[in-house]
Amino acid sequence: MAAALLAAVIGCVGLHLPAKAADTAAPSISSLSAVVYAPSSNMVLYEKDADTPRPMASTTKLMTALLAAERLNPEDEVAVPVGAVPVEGTQLGLTAGDKVLVQDLLAGLLLSSGNDAANALALLMEDSLPTFASRMNEKARQLGMTNSLFVTPSGLDEGGHSASARDMARLGGAVLQQPLLAQLCAAKTATVTLNGARVTLRNHNRLLNLYAPCIGMKTGFTKKSGRCLVSAAEKDGVVLVVATLNGGDYWNDHMALYEYAFSLVEQAQMPAADLPDCPVAGGNATMVPLTAQLPDAFVVRRGQTVRARVYAPAFVWAPVQQGQVVGEIEYVYEDRVLARVPVRAAQGVEASLLPSPLVLCARRFIEWIEMLLA
């Protein structure tokens, strides 16, 4: 409490990025809804009717894959549950009771868009498809997807199954945080074992061949939804996600949006903060040096500023352990906190064997303040 009571901003460092005018104006696209999203900074770079819920077809499978990656062991061999098949639309050809690896089901889900794989994964996690839909909606709320309603694990049209482009871009960013899913979404082919036979699956996402920076993710189409696509691309360390719903020429839509958005941003290393020594009370040293690790780089708009705000206590009581957390640095961009990193004691300080009367009085005073605030 004493540290919190006495903490104050003792430094602020700005990282000024060189301005660069975008060479490309915002493109005109065929998709009815679209968002370009920078996940590392939680920043939207382009939007078109971003919050209207629309059927999103098989891009839904990104949510099914995300839940499976969090809750199932990819190396487990499982039996395809009764109730997973038959199902309409694109299928891997699974039958109830088939033995298959979870990671092979995920490959069939993300590359070949198997609706039977989606149902199988859902029923491995929950006892019914409606129960799994509830789990999908719970996860959507956790991700901040505020204009989504999941009804099916595959994306087949049913009820009000829909999501906004903003929500699907946010979901794409979450999927990229799962290494296996990111690897599968980026794969042009994958060899799996189905019904005892080795089968090569081919990714439906043609953007992997059309656009070199593309690193995934998932296509979707029904007559009701039109052409949907959630994709990701990386250039010069910058990772962006594009989500489009109900599009015609969605391959060119995505390439145009990437070229536009990449011209607006760059990857920025965070500035090092100037950390002063911190006073120590009741120790065999009067000061302790502070240290902090720099966070990962973030995607920021060119010409804007990232600020590092340092919070540290007015003093700390001995003993102080090396590595002890005594404060915090906030990295702030566009009024958002991008990261918080702990400020630690760079070395230890032992307590004095005979604390002075002044130190004892100060300690008593702080304890009294803490009691009043409790």
Q: Residue 365 — pLDDT band, cuts 50, 70, 90? A: low
Task: Give the total residue count for the chain.
Answer: 374
Query: What value does the mean pLDDT of the chain take?
Result: 89
d(CA 167, CA 179) in angstroms, rounded, equals 21
DSSP 160: T
pTM value > 0.95: no
Nearest to 95 by CA among 219, 200, 239, 195: 195
Q: Is the pLDDT of residue 249 over 60?
A: yes
Percent of the chain with pLDDT over 70: 88
Q: What is the pLDDT of residue 374?
A: 56
List all residues 6 or more positions away from 304 whose beta carbon is below 8 Å from its beta carbon: 17, 333, 334
pLDDT digits (tens, 9 = 90+) for 256-293: 999 999 999 998 888 777 898 999 998 999 999 999 99
Q: Is the pLDDT of residue 15 over 60?
A: no
Q: Residue 199 — pLDDT band, cuts 50, 70, 90? A: very high
Average pLDDT score over residue span 53-57: 98
Average pLDDT score over residue span 139-160: 97
Helix, strand, or coil (residue 224): coil
pLDDT digits (tens, 9 = 90+) for 117-131: 999 999 999 999 999
Domains of the chain are 2-17+270-373 (2.60.410.10), 33-262 (3.40.710.10)
Q: Which residue in the block uniquely carries the two structure tokens 């918080």?
A: 340
d(CA 306, CA 300) in angstroms, rounded, equals 8
d(CA 359, CA 353) in angstroms, rounded, equals 12
d(CA 136, CA 131) in angstroms, rounded, equals 9
Sign of CA dihedral 111, 134, 222, 33: negative
Active site residues: 58, 61, 113
d(CA 199, CA 202) in angstroms, rounded, equals 10
Q: Is the pLDDT of residue 166 over 60?
A: yes
Helices (H), 152-249: 165-176, 179-186, 207-210
Q: What is the pLDDT of residue 20?
A: 43
Percent of the chain with pLDDT over 90: 75
Pairwise pLDDT comparison (141 vs 367), residue with the higher score: 141
pLDDT digits (tens, 9 = 90+) for 286-313: 999 999 998 888 899 988 888 889 998 9
Q: Is the pLDDT of residue 331 over 80?
A: yes
SS percent in the chain: helix, strand, coil, step 5: 30, 30, 40
pLDDT digits (tens, 9 = 90+) for 220-248: 999 999 999 999 999 999 999 999 999 98
